Amino acid sequence: MQKLVYTVLIFFLPSQFALSGQGSNNVHISVASGAVTGGEKVIYYSEYGAVGDGVTDDFDAIIKAHAEANEAGLKVSADAGATYYIGGADKTALIQTDTDWGDARFIIDDTKVENRNVQIFKLSSKLPPIQVTTVKTLGKNQKKLDLSLPYRSFITVTDNTTKRYIRFGLNQDTGSSQTDAFVVDKKGKVDMKAPIIWDFNNISTMTAYPIDAKILTIRGGHFTTVANQDESRYTYYSRGIGVMRSNVVIDGVSHVITGELDHGAPYGGFLTISNCTGVTVQNCKLSGHKTYVTIGAANAPVSMGSYDISVGRSTNVTFKNCKQINDIHDTKLWGIFGSNYSKNITFDAVEFSRFDAHMGVVNATIKNSILGHQGINIIGSGVFLIENTKVCATNFINLRSDYGSTFEGEFIIKNCEYVPRNAAQSDAVLISGSYSGKHDFGYTCHMPRKITINGLVINDSNPVDNYRGPKIFAPFNNEYTSEAYEEKYPYVITREVEIRNMTVKSGKKYLISNNPFMFRNVRITER
């Protein structure tokens, strides 16, 4: 290897310059505007006073380092081997340049927090959002907006006069304002891979978030959250990494949780992704949170969802080669992933306790993955593809009954395995849900119009007593057993189920449902 030779004239340098040799082939010169490492300027946290001993609060130094890097357009690097302690201050480090956390460790102490809603790190664009006031209405599947923008943009739109997702059950509510999210080019042409799904006759707000052309990359870092000790109420904590910029890659981040007690407030997500498109999370290791119980809106005890990953108002979000550090089958831990108002979510080579779409997903893919005790919980529309995936939950797919067990589209199941309750004694139901027809969810509720099964092994080797075989559908409504039953809000039932290469380990023939009347018109074909 060629030896690099540097001549440094110390007496000509300003006093704030410092020289630090790091071997004959790597010279690191600390300067106020960044260090020179291998010919490229990089800012290190230590240059701004970070001690990295795991005891001293280094948050101010970290914030300053990123502020300088953002201003100068420089990369940021953690100091090798450092452990940065971050206390409960109401502050955020804004990240707008590539950052390499390497093998550094970060301790996020949530035991004394000034503001539980403030992220530790926020990935943002330098391009400001634009409030759109010229567009007054939108139509479902509209292909173009009468709009001219300086950048290709991610659009969010709301109608406060229309309520959707009027939740039913222990966490019942009065619904949420109609919301949509999609991408347009500079001339207002909509990316139809993530179409508009509602008619907007009255637009309350519309915001265009410019999409940066350059990818922002975050690498490495081992994070530990010291869990909060608050009362067990719906006071969600959001102290982690907030992605609020399009075109981002997060690579190799890990997160563990310590200090969980017999009580605590839930978490909205260590990694939260919102108001953006084109985000890839890869080679990351994350953790499920302990489940706590509170009194819900129906004045009854309810388990609180607590997440390490949350996706909201986003499109084209991919999780690749990611794993859950703690046990995906541990029922004391809540499901690791939740999403709302998003489109085109992909799990590829993922091992998580759950995939979950609360307030709708448009198009989703799970492939080459393993899902644990909370399995697949979904409502939405479009195409849902599950391929080469093992599901170890009570049901293969659960259509969330609190939002009407609705999916207006198609399910495709290819070369998968279903192990009910991870081989504990269980019934076997492929498509679960519940719908009484008596509650207004703010939309017409649908079952997937077509379900295609092409390669599925049902491992029902530990069945419940009097087991008659796996069911394609749960009963959904035990009262709907004759024409006499009236649905105030009718349910649109699946039209067709196509089955190829389905193996039942017990040897029993599948049943359409324990409530065959409700599914009497479903056409089942076996090829």
Work out the pLDDT band at 527, boundaries 50, 70, 90: confident
- What's the pLDDT tens digit per position in 46-64? 999 999 999 999 999 999 9
Query: Where in the chain are the domains?
Result: 1-86, 385-527
% the chain with pLDDT above 70: 93
For all residues of the chain together, what is the average pLDDT?
93
Give residue 15's pLDDT: 29
% the chain with pLDDT above 90: 92
- What's the pLDDT tens digit per position in 87-99? 999 999 999 999 9
Lowest mean pLDDT among 17-21, 259-263, 266-270, 431-435: 17-21
Give residue 451's pLDDT: 98
Burial of 217 (0-12, 13-18, 19+ CB in 10 A): middle
- What average pLDDT does range 363-383 have in this prediction? 98
Give residue 424's pLDDT: 97
Output DSSP code: residue 483.
Answer: T
Give residue 239's pLDDT: 97
Q: In 172-238, which ranges are E strands?
A: 176-184, 205-210, 216-219, 222-226
User: Does residue 5 have a pLDDT over 90?
Assistant: no
User: Does residue 27 have a pLDDT over 60?
Assistant: no
- What average pLDDT does range 365-388 have in this prediction? 98
CA distance 267 to 227: 9
Closest to 97 (Cα-Cα) out of 49, 20, 34, 36: 34
Tokens of 313: 């108002």
Q: Is the CB of residue 380 less than 8 Å from the CB of residue 332?
A: no
CA distance 406 to 384: 13
Give residue 128's pLDDT: 97
Work out the pLDDT band at 20, boundaries 50, 70, 90: very low
Work out the pLDDT band at 1, boundaries 50, 70, 90: very low
Output DSSP code: residue 428.
Answer: -
Give residue 38's pLDDT: 53
User: Does residue 75 have a pLDDT over 60?
Assistant: yes
Give residue 2's pLDDT: 33
User: Does residue 351 have a pLDDT over 50?
Assistant: yes
Helix (H, G, I), strand (E, B) or coil at 414: strand
Closest to 223 (Cα-Cα) out of 378, 104, 303, 79: 104
Give residue 255's pLDDT: 98
State the maximum Cα–Cα separation within the chain, in Å, rounded to a whole number: 96
Output DSSP code: residue 403.
Answer: G
User: Does residue 18 have a pLDDT over 60?
Assistant: no
**CA neighbours within 13 Å on the CB side: how many for 33?**
5
Q: Is the dihedral of CA 44, 47, 52, 57 positive or negative?
A: negative
- What's the pLDDT tens digit per position in 124-181? 999 999 999 999 999 999 999 999 999 999 999 999 999 999 999 999 999 999 999 9
Place of tokens 């109420």: 233
Q: Is the CB of residue 186 less than 8 Å from the CB of residue 150?
A: yes
174: left (phi over 0), alpha (psi -120 to 50) or beta: alpha
Give residue 92's pLDDT: 98
User: Does residue 25 have a pLDDT over 80?
Assistant: no
User: Does residue 10 have a pLDDT over 50?
Assistant: no
- What's the pLDDT tens digit per position in 439-478? 999 999 999 999 999 999 999 999 999 999 999 999 999 9
Work out the pLDDT band at 40, boundaries 50, 70, 90: confident
User: Does residue 8 have a pLDDT over 70?
Assistant: no
Give residue 17's pLDDT: 27
What backbone phi and psi angles, to 5 degrees, belong to 44? -110, 145
Give residue 200's pLDDT: 98
- What average pLDDT does range 281-303 have in this prediction? 95
Q: Which of 5-9, 34-38, 296-300 reaches the highest mean pLDDT?
A: 296-300
User: Does residue 30 have a pLDDT over 60?
Assistant: no
Give residue 34's pLDDT: 53
| Amino acid in the structure at residue 249 | V
What backbone phi and psi angles, to 5 degrees, belong to 287? -130, 145
